[in-house]
Amino acid sequence: MEEGAASSVTGDPCRPADAAALIYTSGTTGKPKGVELTHSNLVWNALTMRDGMVDELLSVGCAKSPVRSLAVLPWAHIYGQTLELHAMLAGGHEVALCSDPAAFLDEAQEARPDVLFAVPALYNKIHDGFRANRRAMSDGKKALADRAIASGARQAKRRYDSTLPGPSFFEKLQHSVLDALVLKKVRSALGGSVQFCGNGGAAVSPGVREFIEAIGIPMTSGYGLTETSPVLAKEKPFDPKNLLPGSIGKALTGVALKCVDLEGKEVPTGEPGELVASGPGVMRGYWGKPAETKEVLYEEGGQTWFRTGDRCVMEADGHVRVVGRVKELYKLANGKYVAPAPLEDALARSRYVAQAFVYGSDRAHNVCLVAPDWANVAKKFGVDGVAMAAPFTFEPKATIEALLAEHRAAITELMEAEIAYHAKGFKSFERPERVGVVGEGFNAARGMITPKLSVKRAAVLAAHQADLDGLYGGGDDA
């Protein structure tokens, strides 16, 4: 401070349009790019989320202020930075810092957060933990746990549908008992105080969302990108359309959203198209990359619009659903389009599947590469000691290799059955006809996932093209 006071250099005052942050994209569909976000970008989104948080907490019955979150998201990523570092502190709230995502459940006991902001991986972990505990229960306790979850799901459903009749006195009493015996214990794994949770980064599966709300924690999802500071759209608590697959809610105040075709023309309501956005959070551009900036930013009607790259459907009331990535969309040989992400997410809900990679561009049908959850597969085959050491990385590798060598055919049959079961809700042409098993997951050590744990499709294709081709065998499909 003394050195600065003695300096003759005069400071240049900060202006709203000045760059405040340079945050790199995760590189899901290409090389990471530096996103130039201005002070006005960040301040607008932080204050908008801060003010919206007050209404949201009140709507779920939480009048407490300040509230506390347990930050598990990296603040180098725009989601955690905006929601916690900026918006929570701007609202005078408290933020406890999680030392390691793997220690989240342990540290939640100390921090006792009131709210959570996380990605689907955390909610999946909570759900999978409950399922693992249930499998170890006696038949009587399993029945009690199932009744508690069913009761909680009915309570949650009533909050989404005001036309449903209210619970009878007996139902209220029964739910109160089941909540005390079962659901309260599940919530205690998160510290026992969570009254609301937010999801972002990717769509949470309907089954996991239903479970989180059944244990008594309301959830909403939001949508945005690094290039938009990030939040563009947000669900309102207990809107029935939140339960639709891929729901991201409606545009924030000040944000304009529309879906356009490949020529940039707005598509009719209810039809899929690329989501484009305009608003105060849209970036200044990609640092040092004018050509790449021009690919995603364009001027129309006196506004700057950003091409999100997400394939979406907009309802008449403005509610938006994400149905895939434009660049990930591919066409089968029969001319039908496939968006692989929703299908892959559904397939990975199997406890035996860590990751699924669906492929079929210009082919007669889809195939699927499966990276198993080796911890659960090993237990099924009577082998102990296998565990996840990092996201989608299982150890010891020697044990996994031995499992594959001895039981490859049986493991493949197991994966085929799981994929067939979890793909039932999709169209027949979308379901994979053949399944292959890989020994190592699509993980960070192989350069195949982003910091958000999204799979880099190009990297997987580069490493596994021969495996995918092999699933077609030969002849017309090869």
The CATH homologous superfamily of the domain defined by 330-477: ANL, C-terminal domain (3.30.300.30)
Q: What is the pLDDT of residues 393-433, one digit of tens each?
A: 999 999 999 999 999 999 999 999 999 999 998 999 999 99
Mean pLDDT of 148-173: 94
Neighbouring C-alpha atoms within 13 Å toward the C-beta of 357:
28
Checking if the pLDDT of 203 tops 80, the result is yes
User: Could you tell me which CATH class the domain 246-325 is placed in?
Assistant: mainly beta
Give the model's pLDDT for residue 476: 37
Both structure tokens of 30: 């290409």
Checking if the pLDDT of 50 tops 60, the result is yes
What's the fold here for domain 61-217? Rossmann fold (3.40.50)
Q: What is the pLDDT of residues 91-129, one digit of tens each?
A: 999 999 999 888 899 999 999 999 999 988 889 889 988
Give the model's pLDDT for residue 211: 96
Hey, is 352 helix, strand or coil? coil
Q: What is the pLDDT of residues 292-301, one digit of tens each?
A: 999 999 999 9
Mean pLDDT of 245-250: 92
Which of 30-39, 278-287, 325-334 comes out lowest in average pLDDT? 325-334
Domain positions in the chain are: 61-217, 246-325, 330-477
Query: How does residue 337 score in pLDDT terms, banded at 50, 70 and 90?
Result: confident
Give the model's pLDDT for residue 132: 86
Query: Long-range contact list for 76-81, CB < 8 A, 24+ apart?
Result: 76/23, 76/451, 77/23, 77/226, 77/451, 77/452, 78/23, 78/37, 78/224, 78/226, 78/229, 78/230, 79/117, 79/119, 79/200, 79/201, 79/224, 79/230, 80/117, 81/21, 81/23
